[in-house]
Amino acid sequence: MGFIVLLVLVALFAGPLASLIGHGPNELFQNDMLDDFGLPKGPNGDFLFGADASGRDVLVRMIYGTRVSLKVGLFATLVAVGIGVVLGLLAGYLGGIVDTILSRIAEIILSLPILLFAIGIVTACGASKEGCARGYVKPGVTLVVLISAFFTWPVMYRIVRGVVLSLREREFVDAARSVGAGPFTIMFREILPNLISPVIVYASLMVPQAILFEAYLSFLGLGVPDSIPSWGRMISDGSAIYDVAWWLIVFPGIILLLTVLAFNLLGDGLRDALDPKSDR
């Protein structure tokens, strides 16, 4: 938990932190940090985590990289949760044809190979500078967020639908109906507040998945553009010369691992605290 707070602070104050170190994220130090063969130099007093193949400070790029990871983790989860909760409520409470159609759609999306489609969409979208969907969506963080959310909302949908199915038979729903509340009032005023704990638990477990998804895409060169530092992209760039410059893959990898681990621990902890069924 403390680590996540730290990450958020680092992401917010990336600029001041970088100026404290004295290196910009895209600033090249080719004279100082590249040797005679053009290979980067490793960690030293000034460059704590060494330099990359272009002579940029790895630590400063890692600091800026927190922004991409946290942005993707947060927004992809928010969008997926938003869609999943609303549709799950509709399907679970209304039932019938609405439920059938939505559940089929969810089933289809869950059976699509996510990485395959992500690659297809990102490549097609990245092929032209103006992006796709008439220029509204450009390759980068937004596109990664949208793809991730599109493929993960059915998970939240299924959970919410299941909980709503059992909640709608409860007395408080009958009570609300008997005083004349309409279906939407019941859904969003009566049932929704009862969904908070399962939604929080599963949402917190979706964050690390989204962060990893961005890292995978960026590793394949398909996530965010090179000018924006991202941990997956840094590891990918470093993988070309990792045998002579181990710091290029070790440090960004460790921070990625720790971030995902922290969110997984948070999710596990929330589940143990909020879900009476779980037992350690």
220 binds other proteins (CB under 8 A): yes
Is 54 or 264 the residue whose CB approaches other proteins more closely? Answer: 264
What whole-number distance in Å separates Cα of residue 48 and Cα of residue 57? 8
13 binds other proteins (CB under 8 A): no
142 binds other proteins (CB under 8 A): no
Please identify which residue in 8, 12, 20, 112 interacts with other proteins, judged by CB under 8 A.
112
Q: How far apart are the first and last CA of the chain?
A: 19
* Residues in CB range of 164: below 8 A, 6 or more apart: 88, 89, 91, 92, 93, 191, 195
CB of 220 to other proteins, least distance (A): 6
98 binds other proteins (CB under 8 A): no
Which runs of consecutive H residues, i.e. helices, occur in the chain? 2-12, 14-21, 30-33, 58-94, 96-111, 114-126, 141-167, 171-178, 183-185, 196-219, 231-238, 247-274
77 burial (CB, 10 Å; 0-12 / 13-18 / 19+) is buried
101 binds other proteins (CB under 8 A): no
241 binds other proteins (CB under 8 A): no
Is 115 or 175 the residue whose CB approaches other proteins more closely? Answer: 115
CB of 263 to other proteins, least distance (A): 8
Residues 161-180 within binding reach of other proteins (CB under 8 A): none
Please identify which residue in 8, 123, 196, 225 interacts with other proteins, judged by CB under 8 A.
123
Structure tokens at 111: 């059976």
What whole-number distance in Å separates Cα of residue 276 and Cα of residue 197? 11
CB of 264 to other proteins, least distance (A): 5
| DSSP 8-state symbol, 192 | G
Structure tokens at 240: 């070309």
Is 6 or 112 the residue whose CB approaches other proteins more closely? Answer: 112
Total residues contacting other proteins by CB under 8 A comes to 44
For other proteins, the binding residues (CB under 8 A) are 108, 111-117, 119-121, 123-125, 127-128, 130, 132, 208, 212, 215-216, 219-220, 232, 235-236, 239, 242-243, 246, 249-250, 253, 256-257, 260-261, 264-265, 268, 278-280
